[in-house]
Amino acid sequence: MSNFLILFGNTTLLSKLEFESLYPGLNLKQLDEHLFLFAAENAVAEKMMDILGGTVKLYEVVKEFSNQISDKELIEEIVAFLLNQSNEPYFSLTQIGKGQRSISNADIKDLIKENGKKARYFSSNPSESALLSHKSRATELLTFNTMQEGKLLLASIKGVQDIDDWTNRDRNKPYADRKKGMLPPKVARMMINIALGVWQQKKSGKPMLYDPFCGTGTVLLEAGMRDLAVHGSDIDQKAVFGSRDNMEWFKQEYGRDITSKIFYMDASHINPEEFTSKIDLLVTEPFLGKQTPHDGELANVFKGLEKMYLGSFKSFTSILNDGAVIAIVFPRVQLSKRTYSLEGLIDKLKAKGYNLLVDPVLYAREGARVARQICLFSYSRQTNNT
């Protein structure tokens, strides 16, 4: 077991839910706005960066000192650690949180030089997912003062989000439809992981995932990254063909052999015959209404959406396995005096067998009029009294 520091992206609540769903045995302790501590086996931590969508960086705690340590001693410790790693360190130190006097990369470099060795450093902004330590063999160090416990933690980078790879799936797939709005791949991955993690806590085996509003297939591709078999459908034939093209591109690009079936279907009138098996994970971003609705039309827009969502949830029951988990986006518009959302549906859905598992988590892009609420339900046949 080792201690690790994990730096979540801006979607901290969603990132945390993703982590906790996939690793229910690992206790997260919040240290700073985006920084958390946990203990885990190395083999588990090593795989995390390839799995998680909402994590920017992962560090391993390599040393713990009293937080009364002098700057000079701390620099000596850091230099000893770096020289142990490499004869010519390429490094960066980030200090997160309160109660630390600033230590410069230059001070560390000077002491390395005094030891007769060469060193280079780079400046690292922890909230940016710097690629440096991913691409080069750079050592990114982090210090954190735990304050009450009187400890200063020194941690070294273990993994960084592979931004190029995320961008590849976001930008380079053959079919895109930005007018309809596309789910960011990282959000799709978090939704999949949350649903998958919750499902795995009760069930075993290989679940089947379905996105009934697949659009360009973002959810399907991210599910492919998790080696899940998928069904996808859309009411727009262009989206059906486009998602198929994207899936074929994905299989080639990533050399993955994923079972996929993508077809035309109105989500509120599902035909179970199209499905090769029942569904365990339903992960989707339905039509959210216009991207920039006027204030005056919002009441009607939300009425229409409520009808479509309810119809779709009713129709899902014909293809869901008992114990299926649903991660779905609800639209939300906040005006100065009024909020429009579909939260009113939650009670109605309960009568149909859908139980809300956690409070909806808000995901809002800066400047976007329609925000997304990520809602998580479990489906139980017994409580479906229709």
Closer residue to ligand SAM (CB): 126 or 286? 286
**Spatial contact of 230 and 194, defined as CB atoms under 8 Å apart:** no
- Residues making contact with ligand SAM (CB under 6 A): 180-183, 212-213, 215-216, 218-219, 234-236, 239, 266-268, 285-288, 308
Q: Calculate helix-pair angle for 185-200, 12-22, nearest 10 degrees.
A: 30
**Spatial contact of 49 and 10, defined as CB atoms under 8 Å apart:** no
CA nearest to 183, candidates 208, 152, 215, 159: 215
From the CB of 218, what's the least distance to ligand SAM, in Å?
Answer: 3
From the CB of 335, what's the least distance to ligand SAM, in Å?
Answer: 22
Closer residue to ligand SAM (CB): 53 or 286? 286
From residue 97, alpha-carbon distances to 16, 35, 114 in Å are 19, 9, 30
Instruction: State both tokens at 163.
Output: 């931004």
From the CB of 102, what's the least distance to ligand SAM, in Å?
Answer: 42
The pair phi, psi for residue 99, each rounded to 5°, is 75, 25
From the CB of 217, what's the least distance to ligand SAM, in Å?
Answer: 6
Closer residue to ligand SAM (CB): 97 or 181? 181
3-state helix, strand, coil in the chain (%, to 5): 35, 30, 35
CA nearest to 87, candidates 113, 124, 106: 113
Contacts of 273 (CB under 8 A, 6+ apart): none
Closer residue to ligand SAM (CB): 183 or 229? 183
Provide the pairing of β-strand 371-384 with 361-363.
antiparallel
From the CB of 369, what's the least distance to ligand SAM, in Å?
Answer: 14
Q: Residue 358: how many CB atoms within 10 A of its CB?
A: 15
* Chain centre distance of CA 193: 7
Closer residue to ligand SAM (CB): 145 or 268? 268
Closer residue to ligand SAM (CB): 48 or 188? 188
**Per-residue DSSP letters for 162-226?**
-HHHHHHHHHSSS---TTT----HHHHHHHHHHHHHHHHTT--S--EEEETT-TTTHHHHHHHHT
From the CB of 292, what's the least distance to ligand SAM, in Å?
Answer: 14
Closer residue to ligand SAM (CB): 134 or 372? 372
Closer residue to ligand SAM (CB): 139 or 268? 268
From the CB of 59, what's the least distance to ligand SAM, in Å?
Answer: 31
From the CB of 238, what's the least distance to ligand SAM, in Å?
Answer: 8
Question: Nearest-CB residue to ligand SAM?
Answer: 215
Contacts of 349 (CB under 8 A, 6+ apart): 310, 313, 356, 377
